[in-house]
A and B are shown apart, each in its own frame.
Chain A
Amino acid sequence: MTARSAGPIRRAAQRFAMNRQALLGLAILAPILTCVVTYDLWWGFGPNDIDLLSINRGPTAAHPMGSDGVGRDVLARLMQGGRTSLMVAVISVAISTAIGFLVGAFAAFGGKFADAGLMRFVDLAMTLPPVIFLLVLASIAGTGIGPTIIVIALLSWPVLSRMVRARLLELRERDFVVAAKGMGAGVPHLLLRHGLPNCIDIIVVYATLQVANAILLEAGLSFLGLGIAPPESSWGNMLNAARSGTVLEQYPWQWMFPGGALVVTVLAINFIGDGLRDAFDPRSGLN
């Protein structure tokens, strides 16, 4: 039974391996991830090390991406910032995926009233501009890594919960689920043994694309000064420095490198996510 259930996953993996765009995404993301995770082992400067002889200097041999207004190495801050941004994105997506699955499951299995109530709530959350909720939540949660993770996680689950609900409603009527129910399986068993494996394609694709989205949300919040606060570095708060006209005009290396890293990373993750979607659902890639 296990051997047979690996079938669709393996076929998806093969389709993914044939997708040039997705492979390009992996090829871009892999070195970025490696650098961001291991940089403190091989890079001489720490993100908050101050070099008083190099303040607001452009790229040199010692500081290949230049240095900022208090003499910190931009490359080191960029890699530490990547670590923060990616960590915030991944943790918040993990939380919002769990919430999305549980809400979708509760709507599908919790009876008519739970379903109607939850879905109207999801409608409401989806009608309104996400950035508005982001700002309202951020005004409550405050700045820092923890609050930023919570704000992004609370914002991102509604779409997933609706997709999970649709899939589970369909699944609920399938023979093997009816049979399992008839043999006395409880809701936890149905959800974990049948629901989760049959939603895995939705979850993987959604989570991947949502990581890209979460990176952008974090950057946006930090850019407005509502996300990760200095001296902690993140791609968003490095860009925040460019809100000062002097930095924008005279020290472009301080914000262009984090901006570039942000776009390239998000692009790569989007490529991978699109590739996963096409791999799981071959029909979606036909046009």
Chain B
Amino acid sequence: MTGYLLRRLGVGILMLLALSVLVFIMLRLTPGDPIDAYINPSAPMSPEALAELRRRLGLDQPLPVQYLAWLRAAAVGDFGFSTQRSGVAVLPLVLDRIWPTVLLMGAGLAIAIVVGIAAGIWGAVRRGGASDLALSIFSSVGISSPPFLTGLLGLWFFSTQLRVAPSGGMLTPGAPFSLWDLLGHLILPACLLSIGHAALIMRYMRSSLLEVLGQDYVRTARAKGVREVWVILKHATRNALLPVITLIGSTIGIAIGGAIFLESVFNWPGMGLLLVNAVNGRDYPVIMCATLVIGACVIVVNILTDITYAAVDPRIKVAA
């Protein structure tokens, strides 16, 4: 198990390095000179001063050297300064934004997992019935609706029509911090984020459970006289959960995408909003750092998924 973990961690670090190379190259392919960000447009500089500045920033070096210099600084947490907000260091700016996003995604995923699995079980048990049909229709529409559209609809309905939800943000500005205030702001975007995921989880859970319910050991359990509720919850659901766990782990990327859009709709001060604003303002140090932090989170989640999978399914010997 430890060897497996170390190997997965090693691969993860390699992927992170590869990602940093990729993003570094992509950002240097952009039209425009990176030196422009350091020049005051209203005060023209002499070519000598420009060359001096270029030399001081290391921009006269070949690309691989620039990359290594960037990497050496990044390894000790120095990602440079934001070009959009002058003098603000990038790393604290990005790290500050992690927990709001984690909160939003965590709440959204938790709702999606509970609702999706319950609805999937219900659909499989009531296969072909009216409620199964209704759930299938909900799931098809949920998968086809982009998060920013459900976000707009939810904001319009709950905030402008019913007036029961705040119109965005994470806390009421100026008010003292309170958990209720936070929850009141969190509940709507989290529920909206969960829609697409619940739909996907439900679809997988339903078909996986239907497959398991046709297995011999389920028939055996029924023949032994085990009550139907136990057959479904204990014998069938536990086995049907396996592919669903893989699905949940592999859709974490989609969840991040959804969170980015919902953060834009709800003005939620997370990584997504930061990244979108950085892209709009071509703030490359922030884009670079945020991309790497998100990449690292995804890689860690993937490793955790594999471990959970091994814990739930004893047939898998991770040590092998």
Within 8 A of A (CB), among B264-320: 264-265, 275-276, 278-280, 282, 284, 287, 291, 294-295, 298-299, 302
B264 in contact with A224 (CB, 8 Å): yes
Across-interface contacts of A220 in B (CB, < 8 A): 146, 148, 257, 261
Across-interface contacts of A135 in B (CB, < 8 A): 260, 275-276, 279, 287
Q: A213 to nearest B CB, angstroms?
A: 10
A139 in contact with B156 (CB, 8 Å): no
Within 8 A of B (CB), among A245-265: 245, 248-249, 252, 255-256, 259, 262-263
Of the stretches A56-64, A94-102, A125-133, the one at the interface is: A125-133
Q: B263 to nearest A CB, angstroms?
A: 11
B210 in contact with A287 (CB, 8 Å): yes
Say yes or no for A219: interface residue by CB 8 A criterion: yes
CB-CB nearest in chain B for A224: B276
Q: A174 to nearest B CB, angstroms?
A: 30
Partner of B26, one of A137, A239, A270: A137
Knowing A243-B264, A262-B146 are in contact, say whether A129-B140 is a contact too (CB < 8 A).
no
Instruction: Give the total of B residues in contact with A, Cβ under 8 Å.
Output: 50
Within 8 A of B (CB), among A193-217: 212, 216
Say yes or no for B5: interface residue by CB 8 A criterion: no
Within 8 A of A (CB), among B126-152: 140-141, 143-146, 148-149, 152
Q: A211 to nearest B CB, angstroms?
A: 12
Say yes or no for B27: interface residue by CB 8 A criterion: yes
Partner of B153, one of A123, A124, A139, A259: A259
Across-interface contacts of A280 in B (CB, < 8 A): none
Say yes or no for B228: interface residue by CB 8 A criterion: no
Per-residue contact bits, chain A 32-74, to B (CB 8 Å; 1 contact, 0 not)? 0000000000000000000000000000000000000000000
Say yes or no for A16: interface residue by CB 8 A criterion: no
Knowing A139-B279, A224-B276 are in contact, say whether A239-B15 is a contact too (CB < 8 A).
no
Say yes or no for A226: interface residue by CB 8 A criterion: yes
Chain B binding surface, main DSSP class: helix
Per-residue contact bits, chain A 4-44, to B (CB 8 Å; 1 contact, 0 not)? 00000000000000000000000000000000000000000
Within 8 A of B (CB), among A217-254: 219-220, 223-226, 239, 242-243, 245, 248-249, 252
Of the stretches B17-25, B41-49, B64-72, B177-185, the one at the interface is: B17-25
Per-residue contact bits, chain A 118-149, to B (CB 8 Å; 1 contact, 0 not)? 00100110011111100111111010000000
Say yes or no for B170: interface residue by CB 8 A criterion: no
Q: A208 to nearest B CB, angstroms?
A: 14
Say yes or no for B253: interface residue by CB 8 A criterion: yes
Q: B283 to nearest A CB, angstroms?
A: 9
Knowing A129-B294, A287-B210 are in contact, say whether A249-B160 is a contact too (CB < 8 A).
yes
A136 in contact with B264 (CB, 8 Å): no
B145 in contact with A287 (CB, 8 Å): no
A132 in contact with B294 (CB, 8 Å): yes
B148 in contact with A127 (CB, 8 Å): no
Across-interface contacts of A140 in B (CB, < 8 A): 26-27, 29-30
Knowing A124-B18, A129-B257, A267-B144 are in contact, say whether A136-B23 is a contact too (CB < 8 A).
yes
CB-CB nearest in chain A for B253: A129
Which 9 residue pairs across A and B have the least CB separation, nearest first?
Answer: A131-B257, A129-B253, A249-B160, A139-B279, A267-B144, A266-B144, A129-B256, A287-B207, A140-B30
Which residue numbers of A lie inside 8 Å of B, CB to CB?
120, 123-124, 127-132, 135-140, 142, 212, 216, 219-220, 223-226, 239, 242-243, 245, 248-249, 252, 255-256, 259, 262-263, 266-267, 270-271, 287
Contacts A132-B275, A139-B282 aside, 4 further interface pairs with beta carbons under 8 A come to A224-B279, A226-B279, A248-B160, A266-B144
